Amino acid sequence: MNVKFNNRDPVYVQVVRYFKEQIAKGFFEPGQEIPSRRELAHRLKINPNTAQRAYKEMEEQGLIFTEGNLPSRITKDEGVLKKVRKELIMEAVETFVHSVRTINVPLEEVLYIVKEYYEKADYVRGNTRD
């Protein structure tokens, strides 16, 4: 766990986001046990109260659940998991569209460039992996 936090967004929001990303990427699997609040604070080098706040937030959003005194786990609720993935995608698209719009590029051209770039990036990434 190595997260670079910015100083302007609430740290707990950034922690929640980090968890969502990990879930979307599949690094956190449904039902997987997550670190305790103290453990998380220690690993991310953040205030334990902030870690606590992040967990509370995630619990409210249904991202994690806690049964009795057991450690918290990532939700198994498919609906929530799908929602997380969609939310992240939508966020990225929104940002992208917003910036592309400001340069007045036609949609077809954008889609073409995106497709080309996406595949090329995939290729490059695939190569460097070897």
Partner 1 sequence: MIEVKNVTKKFGRKEVLKGVSFTAEKGQITCLIGINGVGKTTIMQAIMSLIPINSGEIFIDGSKLTKDSYEKITFIPDTITMPPQMRIADAFAFMADFYQSWNQKRAEELLEFFKLEETERISELSKGNTAKVNMLLGLALDVDYFLMDEPFSGIDIFSREEIANVFTSHLIEDRGVIITTHEINDIEHLIDKVVLIDNGVVLKEFYVEEVRENEGKSVIDVLREVYES
Bridge partners (DSSP) listed for residue 65: 73
Q: For tokens 């998380």, name the residue.
A: 40
Q: Which of 20, 23, 28, 53 binds partner 1 (CB under 8 A)?
A: 53
Q: Is 49 in the site for partner 1 (CB under 8 A)?
A: yes
- Which residue is associated with the tokens 């670079």? 4
- Binding of residue 19 to partner 1 (CB under 8 A): no
Q: How many residues are given for the chain?
A: 130
**Least Å distance between CB 109 and partner 1?**
34
8 Å CB contact between 75 and 61: no
Confirm or reject binding of residue 56 to partner 1 (CB under 8 A). Answer: no
If binding means CB under 8 A, how many residues of this protein chain bind partner 1? 20
Q: How far is the CB of 48 from partner 1 (least distance, A)?
A: 6
Rg, C-alpha atoms of the chain: 18
Binder among 47, 89, 120, 124 for partner 1 (CB under 8 A): 47
Name the H helices within the chain. 11-25, 37-44, 48-60, 78-102, 107-129
Cβ at position 92, least distance to partner 1 in Å = 21
- Positions in the binding site for partner 1 (CB under 8 A): 5-13, 38, 41-42, 44-50, 53
